[in-house]
């Protein structure tokens, strides 16, 4: 969805977040439920994730994955890099990043949905990944220090932010000089009518 932002967002950010939290709570607690988007291992295969890496993960790490593309296909990751995963959900992309940066790298996943955080943190403990940390927070207010990350990743999240300018400002705040953003998202090249933009139900439809 392409939205031209003014100084005021066109939807109530808190109401939108409540809608998004409810939707992704359902994905966390009932990953086999009926959704308008694909999830889990079939989706990861469709999006071209490395099958060997995905196959090595337990079902709990993959079943609630609901991304829109593969941000890791944009550029290679290097051992030792620091990564922040914006809208990390149940942790799938964070776990992929952890594999790529190795034990001397660091990954911070940030999500605002309690059920997703509970799931990612539990899975992280199960996998024994001491270099991965999941934190509660918003894309518009990341709980990450200035210049901390070598790479910021995100998968199908920015389109759900009412204030995209603030979200991207945060990305560039947490990236070190020369750091990079690798994200996948949904975009519409056509102008969206104002009445549609103001309809919160359409944001998560």
Q: Which domain holds residue 174?
A: 13-203
d(CA 46, CA 138): 28
Residue 153 lies in a domain: yes
Q: Both tokens of residue 187?
A: 């975009």
Residue 9 pLDDT > 80, yes or no?
no
* pLDDT tens profile 87-102: 999 999 999 999 999 9
Give this prediction's pTM. Answer: 0.91
Q: Partners of 155 in the beta sheet?
A: 184
| Residue 1, in any domain of the structure | no
**What is the total count of domains within the chain?**
1
* ∠ Cα 97 98 101 (to 5°): 80
69 burial type by CB count under 10 A (0-12 exposed, 13-18 middle, 19+ buried) = middle
């Amino acid at each position: 969805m392409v939205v031209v932002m003014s100084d005021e967002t066109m939807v109530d950010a808190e109401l939108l977040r409540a809608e998004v939290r409810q939707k992704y709570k359902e994905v966390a607690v009932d990953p086999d439920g009926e959704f308008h988007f694909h999830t889990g291992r079939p989706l990861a295969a469709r999006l071209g994730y490395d099958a060997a890496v995905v196959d090595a993960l337990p079902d709990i790490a993959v079943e609630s994955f609901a991304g829109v593309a593969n941000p890791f296909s944009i550029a290679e990751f290097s051992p030792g890099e620091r990564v922040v995963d914006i809208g990390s959900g149940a942790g799938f992309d964070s776990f992929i990043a952890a594999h790529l940066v190795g034990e001397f790298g660091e990954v911070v996943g940030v999500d605002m949905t309690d059920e997703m955080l509970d799931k990612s943190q539990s899975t992280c403990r199960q996998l024994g990944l001491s270099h991965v940390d999941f934190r509660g927070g918003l894309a518009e207010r990341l709980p990450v220090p200035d210049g901390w990350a070598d790479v910021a990743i995100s998968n199908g999240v920015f389109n759900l932010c009412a204030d995209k300018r603030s979200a991207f400002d945060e990305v560039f705040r947490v990236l070190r000089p020369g750091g990079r953003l690798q994200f996948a998202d949904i975009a519409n090249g056509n102008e969206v009518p104002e009445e549609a933009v103001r309809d919160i139900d359409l944001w998560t439809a």
